[in-house]
Chain A
Amino acid sequence: MINKSLKQLGAMLQGKEISSVELTQEFLKRIDRLNPEINAFITLDKDKTLAQAKHADSLLAAGKGTALTGLPIGQKDIFVAKGWRTTCGSKMLETFIGPYDADIIERFDGVGAVNLGKTNMDEFAMGSSNETSYFGKVQNPWDRSRVPGGSSGGSAAAVAARLCAAATGTDTGGSIRQPASLCGLSGLKPTYGLASRFGMIAFASSLDQSGPMAKSCEDMALMMNVLTGFDKRDSTSLNREKEDYTRDLSKPLAGLKVGLPKEYFAEGLGADVAKVVHEAIAEYKKLGAEMVDISLPNTQLSIPVYYVLAPAEASSNLSRFDGVRYGHRAKEYGDLMDMYCKSRAEGFGAEVKRRILIGTYVLSAGYYDAYYLKAQQIRRLIAQDFENAFKQCDIIMGPTAPSTAFKAGEKADDPVAMYLQDIYTIAVNLAGLPGMSIPAGFAPSEDGKRLPVGLQIIGNYFDEARMLNAGHAYQQVTDWHTQMPEGIE
């Protein structure tokens, strides 16, 4: 049962083969057994979770159930949830109890989904390995000595270890797609503005976007139907008509033009990853897709641009943590200035401080034009690369990450090496486009473990239904997405 999709579990609930309380207890038992090692969840609240499951059962009994009613979902601990401890992976918020619900939480609650717990993450979503979490690193279920990716590493490990049926994530520079790739699941970052940022603790507001992490594209389509939609409380939320993301799942792929950017297959891509991605592309050809060679010439610049814009926005967003209204306050301090400086020095971890300092520096007097303005100009060049590419193709394919999961500690002391993990994902955030990662196979590690490899699919603005169609078609002829790691039975 643990390997069943949201779709299948939903059918079992509707058919009264199992109750939401029974299903939820099954996953809670698995969490009790496996989470002490994997550390995918930071906070559990079984009373709240089971109360939601009971409520879902009453909805189902009254015939008011919809696709996700009664299904246990892991919520990334970046979403504020009323009455739930919400830490964002930081000591700064170690005791913070959410006073209201994020829009995403409201939407899942609104359809009777069950919040199974808050998943681990890199501190304030800043990281690509989940090693910056104040609440400890997360193990990759495929090889416990390796990282799950980040920043949504807890959500990815939870789905991979079948501790939940699906989870939410957020993606500022690859934080849904890279962990999905490293843990062998499907993850989608929607077009910027489709999902509300209200109650999602801000990192870089012009890039942050939440999305689904699940076992299949069909499940992600069901979640997209719930988590997208206009929200007047988010000033960048887009007011568009609701879409049914399942509508095109079964369309044939014949004639689909797939762009392959030469920069995504150049130096820096691991040979083992390249091999798997090429095999996936061959499978797409069999499904009738046509491959087109394209170029995204400014790809290399996306990392420098991101490491100006994201820290700049973060330094501004994280100025709210002042030790006055909420969050950590130092025990001992002198005057007000000393209280701010000590509270923030104690509350933030090393990577978060580094990014705040970079952001403060690039925004400081005399440097704005050389850094921030320049980065925003190059951001337009990067977006134009995609605009030109989409004149030649319908969707773009390539690797999600340059390597498979790396060993814990391997890159922890080298921020620049860590940042290069996101070379294929960051440009998508800068352009505001939708991107997703789906399992495409495995590469063997030097010690003989099977490590998942993700295929990235990038779409034009608002083209998520077509991307999900492409992913679903592939998942009908392959079984990578249904394979489970060993030792989680």
Chain B
Amino acid sequence: MSLNSADIKRIAHLARIEVSDTEAEATLTKLTGILGLIEQMQAVDTKGIIPMSHSQDVTQRLREDVVTETNQRELFQSIAPAVEGGLYLVPKVIE
């Protein structure tokens, strides 16, 4: 499937990355090359093959439902871009 630069802008929006029109054009060329590489897969008959999500046949472990982590809010917020009164600051989302 071939992409155009409007597709690039739509995908970039889904990925929450701002791209300018010029960047979208440049990205289009590179992405088209990579998607061309990926297209090789379509020639393979994969009917009936179980997808492999993990290299080892393992199941998720369960543990007791007990508290294992202590509160480290101050430590973790010390590296945040903007905090106030123990809260993370973001632009207003509710009028």
Contacts and interface: CB of A to CB of B under 8 A. Distances in A.
Given A361-B11, A383-B55, A305 B91 contact: no
Interface of B: 3, 8, 11-19, 27, 30-31, 33-42, 44, 46, 49-56, 58, 60-61, 63, 72, 75-76, 78-82, 88, 90-93
Interface stretch (A26-34, A113-121, A215-223, A230-238): A230-238
B49 A380 contact: yes
A322 B77 CA distance: 14
B41 A375 contact: yes
B35 to A, nearest CB: 8
Interface stretch (A342-350, A451-459, A474-482): A342-350
A190 to B, nearest CB: 12
Residue among B44, B52, B56 with max Cβ neighbours from chain A (10 Å): B52
A373 interface: yes
A329 B50 contact: no
Interface residues of A, number: 70
A206 B53 contact: yes
Contact of B27 (A336, A337, A357, A380): A357
Contacts of B35: 358, 361
Contact of B37 (A307, A342, A361, A364): A307
Given A357-B27, A376-B51, A416-B36, 16 more contacts: A206-B55, A232-B63, A236-B54, A238-B58, A304-B40, A307-B34, A324-B90, A325-B88, A339-B90, A339-B91, A342-B18, A344-B17, A360-B11, A371-B41, A374-B42, A381-B49
Contact of B44 (A97, A206, A336, A378): A378
B51 A357 contact: no
A301 interface: yes
B67 to A, nearest CB: 15
A15 interface: no
Interface SS, B side: loop
Contacts of B88: 324-325
Contacts of A379: 51-52
Given A336-B90, A415-B33, A353 B17 contact: yes
B14 to A, nearest CB: 5
Contacts of B27: 353-354, 357
A307 to B, nearest CB: 6
Nearest to A298: B44
